[in-house]
Amino acid sequence: MQQWTELVKKILEYHSDADKALLERLRVFLVKIPRSKEQEYNFNRSLAVARTLVELRMDTASIAAALLSDGVESGQVKLQTIKEEFNDDIAFLADGLTKIIHISSRARSEIQAEEFRKMILAMSKDVRVILIRLAFCLEQLRIAVKENKKLPEKMVKEVMETYAPIAHRLGIYWIKNELEDLAFCLNEPKKYAELGEAVKKSRLGGEDVVKKVISILKKSLRKHHIAAEVVGREKHLSSIYSKLQRKQISLEDMHDLIGYRIIVHKKADCYKVFGMIHSEFSPVPGRFKDYIAMPKSNGYKSLHTVVIGPFGNRIEIQIRTEKMHQTAESGVAAHWTYKERGGLNTKKRSAATGYDWLKRMLEAHQKTDDPSQFLEHVKIDLFPNEIYLFTPAGDIRTLPRGATPVDFAYAVHSAIGDHCKGAKVNGRMVPLKTPLETGDSVEIITSKTQRPNKDWLNFVVTGQAKYRINRWQKELRREQGVALGQEILTRELQKLQKGFALGGKAILRGAKLFNLSSEKEFLFQVGTSLIGPLQAVHAMFPKKDKTNKNDEPDITQDEEGVKTTRASNSIGGSGKSMHLKGILPQMAVSVARCCSPVPGDKIVGIISSGKGIVIHGVECPNLVALQDHPERWITDIDWPEFSDKNYIARLRITAHNQRDALLLVSQAVTTAKGNIVQIKYQDRLSDPVVLILDVEVEGKELLAEISKHVNSLPIVKKIERIRG
């Protein structure tokens, strides 16, 4: 088995302490597995994957798991058998690998989001799982291109939008680049071929220009007595195509089609080479990047500069040490440490490149209840548009482009984000929604009384910030529900005038009767009308309370004999009941008559004892009196997207006092397809006269149309909406 001998030889080249006995047992085990023609084909694919893992310098457990995976998938090899024949580590990797399923980039269902979450969790537990998966994706696409096979569009899109970005995040750029190139070739074979030919024709310096430039660079390095290795490569076609599409430019406008790398022994030599390059060739202004001083979040370090090359074209040169180069090529895998028969050295593994990101994903997995929300957080964090920011102490924080001081605060610590009151950027106070730029120094000002603001969700970009703000809003709603429940029960007991007291024992008794987990849950359900007030009183005082049955709410009995009652949250106007966004179903909700908000208006909810939630428009003047009671405000609510309900809005019309004024206004409302509920004169004898008009509308758009028609009447001098 020549392929096996070569594979083992390469493993031993970089991992001399590899368990040779395990590798031999693995060879014997694999030979004994009977295979059909199709299964033999799959095994050869696994063998190719193993060779890719060797390029990544992976440990023997990872390579063994890859070689056994087709047997596990077909059911020929059991996980228990792998444990017995080899070890738990290999069994764990083989199991994790089989659990990663294809995720469609368009899929948003909870099941698919949950599977994506499982994949990230598996990565966080042991990143080798995803490294093996990346190798399988790469081989699958290589085979498809080689055999001219058409892969499902869904599968190719998954590679482009999920696995290639993950490879980027983990710093394995050569896999990321090849995945994108292969996907481009499969998706757009004609464009791929045409672009390849166009790139060849655009070369300055001939077909062997790369060799010529490498020779010139080596000569310059020798002249400056710098020992270094020089390699060159052309820019990947997928990257070229993406840039052409994104910037809407032609191939002639691209000047970085070929990149060169200079690899030195010491970090100090990187800056020496940088100085040499700029002394030998003309640098392009604004194209120097120092990723050594400010590494990327996946650990990537290098100096980048663009200069005018020896043949007149722009060339990009990357300068790095051997260690930096290994990280740049293999990312997480470059930092792998081996510990045979015991898996990985976990202390060193935790410090591995790319693990900061994995740890953040694990934290999001543990904290987020909604899988689809988790998927969205991961998608945000997968893409590499990043900025580099400084804390006042000089520490670097990496955030997605578009991040704000609030995102920065949460990146430093969740408690700092929760109590963020203001921010200074480069020593100056700025609004919290200000987008930050690379190099900004950010100082967060906190206050013990400050709490997360729902409006922050309109501008934060990181998953961590969104999660913390949403969680706080959820907790706040719950606290408001508990407080309202306590207030409702207190008032109900006062009405009964029987000397009942709202004590802890009574509340606990009520919670137990309804099989609830705690007294707070009982109060919350009363506050949100999931349990009626009188029903709650009966539960708390089952023997003492003998209220008039005519005063009781409608009570029904379920199959288990537990009494329940539910109040609808239908709100103002006519039509069927509906639910507001941000308020739990079946909470008691009503529309304030003072301002009569309609769909399209910005609204807030005010907790009102005995009424539940009362909806006001944000411009309602009556809200001023409630400014000192923030615990009663519910700000994160909105109208439903669809509703067949109508709402009452009130208009004040100033018009010339003439006999047919009422008729003309009524006709204008009818023409606009509105419905008048009530109309009256404010002062019948004055001129101009004031009409107060109550109209039934579906939302703000219809109200605007009615106002437009009425205002167009010659007799109308002014029309305004009454909001309080």
Q: Which domain holds residue 326?
A: 203-333
Residue 402 belongs to a domain: no
- Which of 46-60, 95-109, 501-515, 627-641 bottoms out in mean pLDDT, i.e. has the lowest? 95-109
> Where among 298, 333, 368 does a domain terminate?
333
pLDDT per residue over 356-376, tens digit each? 555 565 555 555 555 555 555
The segment with the largest mean pLDDT, out of 22-31, 163-172, 395-404, 577-586, is 22-31
Q: What is the CATH number of the domain that holds 666?
A: 3.30.70.260
Note whether 108 and 129 are same-domain residues: yes
Q: What is the CATH number of the domain that holds 248?
A: 3.30.460.10
Q: What is the pLDDT of residue 560?
A: 30
Note whether 207 and 321 are same-domain residues: yes
User: What's the chain's average pLDDT?
Assistant: 77
Note whether 93 and 174 are same-domain residues: yes
CA–CA gap between residue 396 and residue 388 (Å, rounded) = 7
**Span 614-624, average pLDDT:** 86
Q: What is the pLDDT of residue 637?
A: 78
Q: What is the pLDDT of residue 644?
A: 61
Count of CA atoms in the C-beta half-sphere (13 A) of 346: 5
CA–CA gap between residue 678 and residue 669 (Å, rounded) = 12
pLDDT per residue over 136-192, tens digit each? 889 989 999 998 888 887 778 778 877 888 787 777 878 888 999 999 898 888 888
Note whether 175 and 299 are same-domain residues: no
- In this model, does residue 562 exceed pLDDT 50? no
Note whether 186 and 207 are same-domain residues: no
Residue 692 belongs to a domain: yes
Note whether 219 and 187 are same-domain residues: no
Neighbouring CB atoms inside 10 A of 544's CB total: 11
> Where among 192, 215, 247 does a domain terminate?
192
- Which of 188-192, 249-253, 514-518, 551-555 bottoms out in mean pLDDT, i.e. has the lowest? 551-555
Note whether 47 and 106 are same-domain residues: yes
Q: What is the pLDDT of residue 298?
A: 64
Name the domain count of the chain: 4
Note whether 210 and 175 are same-domain residues: no
CA 294 to chain centre: 25
CA–CA gap between residue 430 and residue 441 (Å, rounded) = 12
**Span 229-250, average pLDDT:** 80
Residue 589 belongs to a domain: no
Ordered DSSP codes for 494-509: HHHTS-----HHHHHH
Q: What is the pLDDT of residue 545?
A: 46
CA–CA gap between residue 492 and residue 537 (Å, rounded) = 8
- Which of 239-248, 310-319, 458-467, 546-555 bottoms out in mean pLDDT, i.e. has the lowest? 546-555
Q: Identify the residue with better confidence: 298 or 311.
A: 311
Note whether 162 and 211 are same-domain residues: no
Q: Identify the residue with better confidence: 723 or 83.
A: 83
**Span 227-246, average pLDDT:** 83
Note whether 524 and 551 are same-domain residues: yes
Residue 179 belongs to a domain: yes
Q: In what order do the strands lie in the sheet with 442-446?
A: 428-430, 420-425, 442-446
Nearest CA among 548, 194, 170, 558 for reference residue 330 = 170
- In this model, does residue 84 exceed pLDDT 80? yes
**Span 663-688, average pLDDT:** 82
Query: Are 649 and 702 spatial neighbours (Cβ–Cβ below 8 Å)?
Result: no
Q: What is the CATH number of the domain that holds 130?
A: 1.10.3210.10
CA–CA gap between residue 340 and residue 16 (Å, rounded) = 11
**Span 568-586, average pLDDT:** 50
